[in-house]
Amino acid sequence: MDNLINGRAIADQIHGETAQRVEALKTRGIQPGLVFVRVGEDPASKVYVGMKAKTSLRLGIASDTRVLPEAASEAELLALIEQLNRDPKVHGILVQAPLPAQMRPSLVYSSVKPEKDVDGFHPVNVGKLMLGDASGFRPCTPAGVQELLIRSGVSTEGAEVVILGRGDIVGKPMTSILCQKARHANATVTLCHSRTRDIAGHCRRADILVAAMGVAEFVKAPMVKSGAVVVDVGVNRVADPAAKDGSRLVGDVAFAEVQPVAGRITPNPGGVGPMTIAMLMQNTVRAAELASK
Tens of pLDDT, residue by residue over 137-159, are 999 999 999 999 999 999 999 99
pLDDT in tens, 244-260: 888 888 999 999 999 99
What pLDDT shows up at residue 15? 98
Q: What does pLDDT average to over the chain?
A: 97
pLDDT in tens, 21-58: 999 999 999 999 999 999 999 988 999 999 999 999 99
Calpha distance 226→162 (Å, rounded): 15
Query: Residue 293 — very low, low, confident or very high, per pLDDT cuts 50/70/90?
Result: confident
Judge whether residue 281 has pLDDT over 80. yes
What pLDDT shows up at residue 215? 96
Q: What is the value of pTM for the model shown? A: 0.96
Query: Residue 68 — very low, low, confident or very high, per pLDDT cuts 50/70/90?
Result: very high
Residue among 277, 175, 263, 176 at smallest CA distance from 227? 263
Residue among 223, 235, 181 at smallest CA distance from 198? 223
- How much is the average pLDDT of 217-234? 98
pLDDT in tens, 69-106: 999 999 999 999 999 999 999 999 999 999 999 999 99
All structural domains of the chain, each given as residue ranges with its CATH number in brackets, are 29-114 (3.40.50.10860), 140-272 (3.40.50.720)
What pLDDT shows up at residue 245? 86
Q: Is the peptide bond before 269 cis (omega within 30 degrees of 0)?
A: yes
Catalytic residues: 52, 96, 119
Q: Are 158 and 186 a contacting pair, CB within 8 Å? A: yes
What pLDDT shows up at residue 262? 98
What pLDDT shows up at residue 244? 86
What pLDDT shows up at residue 243? 86
- How much is the average pLDDT of 169-192? 97
